[in-house]
Every structure is written in structure tokens, then in C-alpha cells.
Amino acid sequence: MNFFDKLNEAIVQNQSILFVGLDPNPEMMPVGYKSQDIMPRLWDWLQFIISETADKVCAYKPTLGFYEALGIPGLELLHKTLAAIPSHIPIILDAKHSDLNTSTLFAHTVFTEWNVDAITLSSYAGQDHVAPFLVYPDKAVFILCCTSNPTAIKLQHYPTDESPFYLQIVKESRTWGTPEQLGLEVGTTKSEVIARIRADAPERIIMTRSIWAEGNNINQILAAGLNKNGDGLLIPVPQDMLSREDLSKQVLSLQEEINRAKTEINLDASSCSVWLPNICLLNQHPLQDLILQLYDIGCVMFGNYVQASGAVFPYYIDLRKIISNPQLFNQVLKAYEDILRTLKFDRVAGIPYGSLPTATGLALRLHCPMIFPRKEVKAHGTRRVIEGEFYPGETIVVVDDILISGKSVMEGAEKLKSAGLNVEDIVVFINHEQGVMNRLQENGYRGYAVLTISEITETLYTAGRIEREQFLALKTEE
């Protein structure tokens, strides 16, 4: 399970967007721990924090610097602390790592040996520093873009308050990794700073810190930082609360206060936004509005995105947002349907997991039965490879979201064929091109696509949505 899914499961299970800093700071430790040796006292305190909050928070954030300051015993304490955190709750290692030369080795250590789920990084060395952490597809990074230190204002707000450096970090870092891989760490006492960052990064997780320094109104922080779906924001448990004997009660009260405020904010927001085009082109693509909307809501993003294989693409496609936008989802289904009505088949099959909502919607629109090949076969129950009712000899049309190499969709098709089904046609939403349709044909399949990546980029460039440099970068890829 990747960090993004693990975090969301913890949020849902504990009904909380709170996280706890697990910092062995002797100055913050309660006086009640009587052992003469400081290390056992710190360990007892950290265990107490975890036991009192494990059912009320969505993540833990140990700060590496506190453990390093205690020397070798401190690192031993870190390993004990990591092991004590329940496995279903994600761990965000607050490292602020900033050394380019050690990033590859450090990423391997924290993600494969320490098994943390995410890490905080400094942005100053750029994408080269972040990339070694992004090749771990199930992990995530949080880029520090803003701190609350008063003396940092001269740097963070340079050159002007209207165009500050911290917003440049936000804009640039969005091109480094996907929303599931890369979030933002924001230290501030000002809700307007969070609001500006949210406006520039509507799709990113924002992990806040220092928000309690001036006794801020949590409603203002939530209103500024929550995304249009009412999530995407992580709130720290105040440090001084962690020294309270009634910690569980205090965190529960804060959790309830935040949830009430979230509910009020979400009720005030529109449940379904409507997108309208703002241009008119003479020689427009027949699906121009669909393409522009995909870009405007963040389904199509441009930058240098590191893939799990280590390859770097000049764009990233995230079609999972479509299902949260009924207006757009309906257009997507209609575009698929126009192709499917030209084909002959008995059932439609979706490839897990990305295209299952699409396949379900198409089955309803076409009044056609749906099946799907399992991504993995369960070790219990029926152990079926194919879910749904079908009969050998039937013809199946396969639908998928993005066609890059063709490997996953052909593997799914082969599973269907192994059950005695006929598969000849594969329909996808976006074709990455690069000869992949020829690859399908060589393996005995006819491929169809609603859109190609070149159609998308040419339309976006003509409409002024992307710069010439971005357009040329994609033309080079073709």
C-alpha cells in the first residue's frame, strides 16, 4: 500500500487529520518520569504518547534531529519508537534532508531499512536532490516550502510579498512528483499564507506546523488549507499538549473540534463545481472542452515526473480525479461510449484498479454486463482470476485508462483469454503513443483511444494553457 492510500485509510479509520510529533526533547518531557537515566524516561514518554493517541491521529512524525542529538542511544531510541508505532498508521520522518551527495543512500536507508512511509526534504538543491526519494513508488516526500521563523521572512518573501520565494518553491516542486508522491510542509502562524499555497497547489497534501504559536483560530486554518473536497490538510497536535497527563482526553477534544469545523466548512462549499470554457478557437479539436477541463482541474500536469522505473516523463496524467467530478466523468464516459458502440462484444472488462469506475459507468450506460480480471488472486474464498459472471466463448472488450507500454492491459487480456474468453479490442482513454498501438497489434489486439498525448498537448498549447517550452519538450518525446 502506498503512503497516500495508507494515510487516507488512517484518516477514515480514526476520523482524524491530526498528526503527532514524536520528539524526545528533554525540555518538553513531563516531570513525572522518575528514572535517573534520561533515555528510559524518554522512551517511557514516547510510549505513553503513542498509546494515548494511536486511535485519534492519522500519522506520526518523529524529528530525526532530536534523536541524532542524543548520539547512538538516540538512534537506538528512534528504532524502538518506529517499531512501537502501529503498522497501519503512516510514519513521516521529519529529516529536512538537504544533502545532494547522500540522498540516494539516505533514501534507501529510511525507506527500506527503517521502513518509514514519508520524509521531509529541503528544496534548495532542486529536483536532483528529491529524485532519489521518488523512485520508491509506495513512499512520499514533503517539501519544506515555508517556515514560521521571523528572520526567514527576508528570504521567503523575496523579492516581493506579491511574488514570494516560498510560492516559487511550491510551483516548482509540483513538477517534481505526483500528488501521491509529493506533499508540502508549511510552517506558519498565518492562515493567509496557507491559503496562497493552497491556491497554487490545489491537489497537494499540506502538512502544517507552528500553527498554534499565536493561538490561531483553527477554523481559519482549516478554511485556508482544506481542498475543494474537504481534505488534503494535516494538523499537528500542539507540543505542549503532549506533556499533559490527560493527553488522550485533550487530543479527543481537539479531534472533535476540528471535525465539527470541517463539517461546517464543507457544508458551506459547493458539492459539485461546474466548469465552463473560457476560449473559442476556430479550428478546435472535437474534444477541446474535455481536454481543457482535464488540464484545469489537475488531471494533466507538466514537469519532469519521476516514474517507478526511474524514467522521467515531461508530463503526468492523474485520471482518478475524474470520478469526483460528475460533469467531467459524464463527458469521459460519453467519449468511450462513442468508440464502444462501433464494436461488437458481449461484456465489458475493466483493468484494476484505475479503470474499474469507468468500466462500471460504461456497463450502466450500455446496459452491458461487466467483469474484470483480478490484479492478484486471493489465497482464500473462490480464488477466482476473473470476477463477475461470464461464459467461455464470449467476446470481451477491454477498457483501460492510460496506454503507456501496453504491458498491464495485455496481461489483463491474457487472463481473460485463459478463461476461454475472446479478446480482440482494447479501448483506452489516453494513448501515450511511442508505437504502443503497433505493439498491441503485434500481439493480436486492435487498439482504440479517445485521445492521444499529442492531441492533448497541441490543444493545450493552442489554447494558451501551456508554454512553448512545455509543448516542445513533449514534441521531442514523440
Binding residues for 5-phospho-alpha-D-ribose 1-diphosphate: 374-375, 378, 380, 400-408
Listed in sequence order, the residues at least 6 apart from 37 whose beta carbon sits closer than 8 Å to its beta carbon are none
Residue 106 burial (C-beta neighbours within 10 Å; 0-12, 13-18, 19+)? middle
Residue 121 CB neighbours (<10 A): 24
Residue 209 burial (C-beta neighbours within 10 Å; 0-12, 13-18, 19+)? buried
Report the length, in residues, of the chain. 478
C-beta separation of 74 from 66 below 8 A = yes
Give the CA dihedral 395, 400, 406, 408, nearest 10 degrees: -90
DSSP codes, 15-60: T--EEE-----TTTS-TT---SSHHHHHHHHHHHHHHHHTTT-SEE
Listed in sequence order, the residues at least 6 apart from 382 whose beta carbon sits closer than 8 Å to its beta carbon are none
Instruction: Determine the residue type at 101.
Output: N
Pairing label, strands 18-20, 59-60: parallel
Give the CA dihedral 212, 213, 217, 223, nearest 10 degrees: -70
* 410/427 Cα distance (integer angstroms): 12
Residue 147 DSSP code: -
* 294/332 Cα distance (integer angstroms): 10
Residue 303 CB neighbours (<10 A): 20
Question: Binding site: residue ranges?
Answer: 374-375, 378, 380, 400-408
Name 1's bridge partners: none
Residue 205's closest CA among 231, 228, 229? 231
Active site residue 61: no
Residue 243's closest CA among 2, 407, 72, 31? 31
Could you write out the three-class secondary structure of 48-66?
HHHHHHCCCCCEECCEHHH
Residue 287 DSSP code: T
Per-residue buried b or exposed e for 78-95, using 16+ beta carbons within 10 Å of the residue's own CB = beebbebbeeebbbbbbb
Instruction: Tell me which of 34, 56, 80, 96 is the catalytic residue.
Output: 96
Q: Which positions are annotated as active-site residues?
A: 96
